[in-house]
Amino acid sequence: MASVRPRHEHVSQWLRERIESGTLAEDDQLPSENQLGSRFGVSRITVRRALQTLEADGLIYRKQGMGSFVKDNRIHQGLVRLTDFVEDMEAAGLIPQSIILHQGMEPAGVRVAEALGVAEGALVYRVDRLRKGDGDPMAFDRTWLPPFYGHLIEKHDLRTSSIYSILEDNYDICVCRGRFRIEAVNAPNDVAQHLDVPWGRALLLIERTSFTEADQRFYYQQRFYRSDRVAYELELFRGSSRNQRSGLPLKEFEPIFKKDGDPPRGAAQ
């Protein structure tokens, strides 16, 4: 005979699904104990047990006399220095994992050719990877390199090593600087499938072009981050001059990562 699910689990699961889907976002107030009791036909004791479960799981926080609210448990780490995914995950206290989905040569499309400074149709080396943190899908990477650098990295296991570390540690190639572009996009179908999100879901696209010491473009990447798993925070200094026109000094540029179960905040060629 099948076991009957406890009533408090029905309440906590309903709230959990609304938090994880984004229906209830960070700092949103949950329905009151009376509202939840009426909705599910249960006592206040049952509702409180459900809320205690969510609080223990780090999904909500409670304010005396005010009610319960969605909690933000994202992990902070700095990105002022040029870093790779493995370094970002380790700094955030997450275990990085890379799943290789594609490796091989292909003709460069318009966007890739422009980013790498090669002719359209020239052969480039492409790597597609699903990136996880603590086993949860975080990002989908599509990376292109000129053939010389592609041949260097194809000798190594990209499941356990990053492209940056391979070039720096094995070939003494300086990864000196990078140029970033960040924008919101709708998930292309193939990317959505790998990230386990619906087609068209909003993603955070980071395009990155990296340069060697000789200012040679060796790496162009499109990274699609799940928007419920990462956000960026920027901290700037104003500077001493009101007439400053060259931009504000950068202090912090932080990606904030979430694991599965943390509350959310409300096409590649």
Condensed to tens digits (0 to 9), the pLDDT of residues 48-72 reads 989 988 888 778 888 888 889 988 6
22 vs 15, higher pLDDT: 15
Average pLDDT over residues 81-102: 79
According to CATH, what is the number of the domain 96-226?
3.40.1410.10
pLDDT tier, 236 (very low <50, low <70, confident <90, very high otherwise): low
What span, in angstroms and rounded, lies between the C-alpha atoms of 229 and 140?
12
Position 263 scores a pLDDT of 46
How is domain 7-70 classified at the architecture level of CATH?
Orthogonal Bundle (1.10)
Please state, rounded to an integer, the average pLDDT across all residues of the chain: 82
Question: Which of 6-10, 76-80, 249-253 has maximum average pLDDT?
Answer: 6-10
Sheet (strand 250-257) strand order: 75-76, 250-257, 230-236
Per-residue 3-state assignment (H helix, E strand, C coil) for 106-139: EECCHHHHHHHCCCCCCEEEEEEEEEEECCEEEE
Host H or E run for residue 205? strand 202-211
Tokens 């994992």 belong to 97
Outline which parts of the chain fall under CATH 1.10.10.10.
Answer: 7-70
228 vs 110, higher pLDDT: 110
What span, in angstroms and rounded, lies between the C-alpha atoms of 23 and 32?
16
* Global confidence as pTM: 0.63
Outline which parts of the chain fall under CATH 3.40.1410.10.
Answer: 96-226
